[in-house]
Amino acid sequence: MKPKISFVAALATIAALAGCTSNNSIPPYLDDNQPIEVRVEDALQRMTLEEKVAMCHAQSKFSSPGVPRLGIPEVWCTDGPHGIREEVFWDEWSGAGWTNDACTAFPALTCLAATWDPEMSALYGKSIGEEARYRNKNVLLGPGVNIYRTPLNGRNFEYMGEDPYLASVMVVPYIQEVQKNGVATCVKHFALNNQENARLRINVTVSDRALREIYLPAFEAAVKQGGTWSIMGAYNQYNNEHCCHNSILLNDILKKEWGFDGTVISDWGGTHDTKQAAENGLDLEFGTWSNGLTWSASNAYDNYFLATPYLEGLKAGTYSEEQLDDKVRRILRMIFRTTMDRTRPFGEFVSPAHFDAARTIAQNGIVLLQNEGNLLPLSPDKVQNILVVGENANKRMTIGGGSSSLKVVYENLPLEGLQSRYGKDKITYMKGYTSGKDTVEELSELSAAAEKADAVIFIGGLNKHGHQDAEGGDRLSYGLPYGQDTVIETLVQANPRTVVVIISGNAVAMPWKERVPAIVEGWYCGTEAGNALASILAGDVNPSGKLPFTYYASLDQCGAHALGEYPGANNQVNYKDDIWVGYRFTEREKSAPLFPFGHGLSYTSFEYSDVKANKKSMSQEGKLNISVTVKNNGDREGSEIVQLYIGDKESSVPRPLKELKGFDKVKLAPGESRTVTFTIDSQALRFWDETTNDWKVEPGTFTAYVGASSADIRGTVDFLVK
């Protein structure tokens, strides 16, 4: 039996290798009683040039080297924002065949955003952070906060909706709770990654104002409030430089202006040039060749842009060692915060607590879009025969979609959840349509079965196939695929008690909306998807989710399409929609979407009253409170998300009618009332002034709008800014 080596003895061995002369001395970089910056500087000065460069690029598909001589460990990353990816082979995307790496699948981030609840975001971050820590990953490649500019973007399901304020509030608790586990979040994709079409080449031209007001705020919140320890660059270009080494985004804004002290990590294959990577803010290069072995099995990673070419340039004096040291400091800082933090917890994996968390988040995020005649909830004791139709009722949604694809310990499907809640004997299932063959079943058979049922539940929408909700390509049309519209029309004609459940991360066209009484947005809800959906439909849980994006009636209601700048041409896209994204555009055009931003119904009703400000005016540096009384007028407990929007009546530049600047989720018993108070300051009033290149608040009259959605305003109050 080998003798056990104590931790102190191990430190002494490392100290000797590091060049410490005293047997009793511990190098400062190994002493976790020392401040991190002291440890970083001590480690840096002990490293050779070759060791520094080695830390700046990958050594495998998902890892980069540490400094073995100094006992500094490797960096291990994992996809993705919804669950911890299975282990893969060293140089490949394919799974390594482990038997203990099946994870918990949490709902997609559109569902999290639909909770409008920072407590749900914190629960999500805590749970997924524990799973990453248990698997000994020190960088979680997520969350994503790119703005929902077009519903055709194949990757929207990974992001947090169309509004920068909502995304900013929701991303912060996620980051904080993940990092309490000693795991760095890697917030992505910085920035302007708003389409998958030509994503590796497309150059985005956007006004400084739109960049600052729409596309950067969530990233800024992630850095300044969340304190994220890493950021991932985007594939696309901005200002004709790839975002993974973009001087304006990374050097000027992220590192200098925002004071980001963490690591900038490239997206896999997002690095294109040694000089730009060296000088324009990239710190750690991953995945430059898709299989890691393009050159040869022996030297692939040595030929990355920040590997041998960088080392040779440093030795020749082409590149600055000062810039190299800044990269290494940032990587070391991340390592000391994660793997070399001996106080970090051990984590937890596929536990009952995580299954409960996944189900709770899903229940809070599912949105009741329409409920004419109060068809829902479908109480199990009042129905004997339910016809369930749709491939998505029985289709796994944790597989596919790109880097979010997961190997999960289980996925409770919608059909399983319904069978469990209502009883298998009450459920009849028909597929209705087939995505693989793009065919529908015999319509007469569907109609006959629907006529016999007490109620029909159609479960369709999108899936993780290419050109749907999937990385690498955008949707080809706004409508439902596979002939689903025809199936829905057939079902509702045969049985008016029809519920349509859309499983997706994106909005879809609904030409049948006026004929279907009940519509539910069911999202991709992960491990507990079926049980969560069944609990909403049966009425065990009162729905409280609200849309984090606008559900357009047609694409011409979306600024990116109405103004003719999607998907661009010749690898160039101009954001002519500027700041007019989502509800900002529909309100400017006075067009009525299918369902507005912030919309979501409940099985109870809420009354708003007494909207008021605590004073009539405020200074530009001051604060002001807006309050409203909310009462549950129904006969069951429910939660309402109260939303505050601010509009500027007198502006020197065009501004939206109103913009989201506050929200609060309040749970009320039947008959209970509560006063909700929002505090606003200059950040709720400002716009980006392109003449001064700074934020500006203009004096004048502003209006506070309080309501249940962007289109359901229950009260307003004006106030003066002096």
Short-list 523, 567, 596, CA closest to 156: 523
DSSP 3-state assignment of 473?
coil
Contacts of 93 (CB under 8 A, 6+ apart): 61, 290, 291
Distance CA 319, CA 51 (A): 16
Whether omega before 245 lies within 30 degrees of 0, making that bond cis, reads no
The residue with tokens 């200074």 is 619
Q: How would you list the strands of the sheet with 367-371, edge to edge?
A: 367-371, 518-521, 498-503, 455-461, 386-389, 427-430
Burial class (CB in 10 A: 0-12, 13-18, 19+), 496: middle
Q: Which two tokens stand for residue 139?
A: 């960088």
Q: Which two tokens stand for residue 358?
A: 């996944």
List C-alpha distances in Å: 472 to 195, 231, 287, 477.
9, 20, 16, 16
Q: In this structure, how many other beta carbons lie within 10 angstroms of the beta carbon of residue 619?
A: 12
Q: In this structure, how many other beta carbons lie within 10 angstroms of the beta carbon of residue 669?
A: 10
Q: Which amino acid is at 555?
A: L
Q: Which two tokens stand for residue 717?
A: 């109050």
The helix (H) or strand (E) run that includes residue 127 is helix 118-134
Q: Chain centroid to CA 292: how far?
A: 27
Torsions phi, psi for 673 (to 5 deg): -120, 155
Torsions phi, psi for 533 (to 5 deg): -65, -45
Q: Which amino acid is at 691?
A: T
- Terminal C-alpha separation, the chain: 79
Residues noted as catalytic: 267
Strand partners, 573: 204
CA neighbours within 13 Å on the CB side: how many for 556?
2
Distance CA 320, CA 567 (A): 39
Asked whether the beta carbons of 140 and 166 are under 8 A apart, the reply is: no
Asked whether the beta carbons of 502 and 522 are under 8 A apart, the reply is: yes
Q: How would you list the strands of the sheet with 638-648, edge to edge?
A: 617-618, 713-721, 700-707, 638-648, 659-668
Asked whether the beta carbons of 104 and 358 are under 8 A apart, the reply is: yes
Q: In this structure, how many other beta carbons lie within 10 angstroms of the beta carbon of residue 379?
A: 12
Name the DSSP class of 108: P
Short-list 239, 234, 125, CA closest to 172: 125
Q: Which residues of 670-685 are buried (b: 16+ CB within 10 A; e: fewer)?
A: eeeeeebebebebebb
Give the pairing type, strands 617-618 and 687-689: unpaired
- Helices of type H across 495-557: 529-538
Asked whether the beta carbons of 288 and 308 are under 8 A apart, the reply is: no
Q: Which two tokens stand for residue 111?
A: 């569902």
